[in-house]
Amino acid sequence: QGNPVIVSEPNFAFIGGGVVLGIPVPIIIMALVFVLVHVLLKYTRFGRYVYAIGGNEEAAKLSGVAVNKIKILVYTLCGLGAGLSGLILTSRLASAQPTAGNGWELDAIAAVILGGTSLMGGSGKVAGTLYGALILGIISNALNLLNVSPFYQGVVTAIIIIVAVVTDSRLSKMAAKRSIRRQS
């Protein structure tokens, strides 16, 4: 029916609002996920395969990478991350709401792009995504402090994404031209 569900379990509330050694639990969870994903992408065969598929799926397939298997694992990990995020948000709000997080997809994409991950695939770092999220958070906080309407905040996010996409596209074209010059 789409109604919020109230969650009043104190132990569950600790996940979203607890503090350990002066550090909020959601920050600890984020740091653990950051380290885990960084190690997974940088130091494992799986991570190399993910970058290879992102860079050129056909070449990865011809190199013997089980592309469909890796894609399924990547989507599974994305779902796991979304579930963990939903768990933390539900704990923070003390309620499960079917519309919680609507519109955050754009913010997630903006954070990744701002962090330097190419939309063309094959490059990017977890630390860059974290920096992108921090930049967006700072901008959002500044706009809130300046009493900017939420509508215009969305416009600002869209402009940031457009600028980042145009910049990424130009950088990709320049890199392709350099590559062609080196080959000649």
pLDDT band at 47 (very low <50, low <70, confident <90, very high): very high
141 and 54 in one domain?
no
pLDDT band at 30; cut points 50, 70, 90: very high
Report d(CA 54, CA 158) in Å as an integer: 24
Tell which of 100, 133, 153 closes a domain: 100
Q: Let me know whether 92 and 8 are in one domain.
A: yes
**DSSP letter (8 states) at residue 20:** E
Whether residue 89 is predicted with pLDDT greater than 80 in this model: the reply is: yes
pLDDT digits (tens, 9 = 90+) for 139-162: 989 999 999 988 898 888 888 888
Count the residues in the chain: 184
Query: Which pairs from 89-92 meet CB under 8 Å and 24+ separation?
Result: 89/16, 90/7, 90/12, 90/16, 91/7, 91/12, 91/13, 91/14, 91/15, 91/16, 91/17, 92/16, 92/17, 92/26
Specify the 3-state DSSP secondary structure of 176.
helix
Question: Looking at residue 181, what is its pLDDT?
Answer: 79
Q: Do residues 96 and 172 both lie within one domain?
A: no
Residue the block writes with tokens 């940088």: 42
Q: Which of 100, 115, 131 is the last residue of a domain?
A: 100
Euclidean distance between the first and the last CA atom of the chain, given in angstroms as a whole number: 63
Please indicate, yes or no, whether residues 18 and 87 belong to a single structural domain of this protein.
Answer: yes
Judge if 93 and 125 occupy the same domain: no
Same domain (yes/no): 153, 94? no
The count of structural domains within the chain is 2
Task: For residues 175 and 139, state if they share a domain.
Answer: yes
123 Cβ neighbours under 8 A, 6+ residues apart:
51, 54, 55, 116, 117
Q: Are residues 143 and 96 in the same domain?
A: no
24 and 91 fall within a common domain: yes
* Average pLDDT along the chain: 88
Q: What is the pLDDT of residue 2?
A: 73
DSSP 108-142: HHHHHHHTT--TTSS---HHHHHHHHHHHHHHHHH
Same-domain pairing of 50 and 122: no
Give the structural domain span for 108: 103-184
Amino acid at the residue 171: L
Instruction: Assess whether 80 and 150 both reside in one domain.
Output: no
**Of 78, 100, 122, the domain-final residue:** 100
Percent of the chain with pLDDT over 90: 49
